[in-house]
């Protein structure tokens, strides 16, 4: 099958994007997605997304991890697919698209950065030294003194495959507090089974549990290996957050075409 693809990255979290408005790629298989995402034999990416028509919405986003399986919401992917929609000619100031966790609003600001509204968070579990919460994808969040000293892949893989999380899997975030409003996050991602340069839903989860203002509006700056993001939100309680916006750059890297026969 001939595939025309676009490569995007959002703070180093990189994706293959397919224009599926004519339903050309709806039958793509996990093996084909896994091959396309392979860093040596394929195009190479953390994940693949299809943009499809959806009545009542500007488009529908379908997300696959690089292991080839569809998965939960991808925050950086959501930011990239909005830039992709604009490039395709779906020109808006405010977008409203449908994803696996429901409807998302998004806007492209004057600097070309994308603000993506994330789903509300209604539950945060805290046990001993870590938090577990779902920001569209499930996240484990742990504070550490120095994230650069950490073997994120080894430690993240062990937690992701531990008895508590092995069945569903979980994304594992290690955070270091830089100052009152800034954190540094490194993430081991489920379904990529490696550290990614940033993880949008992970950055969001990490920012929520780092809120400086215990009641009301917060803005947390987040440093990642792939660049800087910010998360704005209202903290209602330690377990409830709403009006959550993930903000940052999302750029097209190249366009290409390839063939997949498998």
Binding site for ligand API (CB under 6 A): 13, 65, 71-72, 74-77, 137, 171, 189-192, 199-201
23 annotated as ligand-binding: no
Q: Which of 37, 80, 199, 247 is catalytic?
A: 199
For the question of residue 74 being annotated catalytic, the response is yes
Name the residue among 125, 69, 131 with its Cα closest to residue 100: 69
Nearer to ligand API, 42 or 200 (CB): 200
Q: Which residue number, 65 or 110, has a Cβ lying nearer to ligand API?
A: 65
190 labeled part of a ligand binding site? yes
Nearer to ligand API, 24 or 221 (CB): 221
For the CA atoms of 99, 250, 133, 51, what is the dihedral angle to 10 degrees? 10
Nearer to ligand API, 74 or 85 (CB): 74
Quote the least distance from Cβ 171 to ligand API, whole Å: 5
Q: How far is the CB of 215 from ligand API (least distance, A)?
A: 27
Distance CA(185)–CA(190), nearest Å, equals 16
* Residue 199 designated active-site: yes
- The CA distance from 61 to 179, in Å, is 35
Report whether 94 belongs to an annotated binding site: no
Binding residues: 13, 65, 75-76, 171, 189-190, 200-201
Binding residues for substrate: 13, 65, 75-76, 171, 189-190, 200-201
**Residue positions annotated with a catalytic role:** 74, 199
């Amino acid at each position: 099958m001939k595939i025309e693809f676009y490569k995007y990255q959002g703070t180093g979290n990189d994706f293959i994007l397919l224009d599926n408005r004519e339903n050309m790629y709806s039958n793509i298989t996990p093996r084909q997605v896994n091959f396309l995402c392979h860093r040596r034999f394929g195009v190479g990416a953390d994940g693949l997304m299809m943009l499809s028509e959806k009545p009542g919405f500007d488009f529908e986003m379908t997300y696959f991890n690089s292991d080839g399986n569809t998965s939960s919401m991808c925050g950086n992917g959501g930011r990239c697919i909005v830039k992709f929609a604009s490039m395709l000619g779906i020109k808006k100031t405010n977008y409203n698209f449908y994803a696996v966790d429901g409807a998302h609003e998004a806007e492209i600001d004057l600097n070309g950065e994308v603000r993506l509204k994330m789903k509300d968070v209604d539950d945060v579990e805290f046990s001993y030294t870590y938090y577990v919460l779902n920001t569209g994808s499930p996240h484990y969040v742990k504070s550490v003194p120095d994230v650069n000293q950490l073997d994120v892949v080894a430690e993240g893989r062990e937690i992701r495959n531990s008895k508590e999380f092995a069945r569903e899997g979980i994304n594992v975030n290690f955070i270091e507090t830089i100052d009152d409003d800034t954190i540094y996050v490194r993430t081991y991602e489920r379904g990529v089974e490696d550290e990614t340069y940033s993880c949008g839903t992970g950055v969001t989860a990490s920012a929520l549990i780092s809120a400086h203002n215990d009641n009301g509006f917060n803005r947390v700056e987040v440093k990642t290996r792939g660049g800087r993001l910010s998360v704005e939100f209202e903290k209602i309680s330690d377990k409830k957050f709403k009006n959550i916006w993930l903000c940052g750059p999302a750029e097209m890297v190249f366009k290409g075409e390839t063939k997949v026969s498998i």
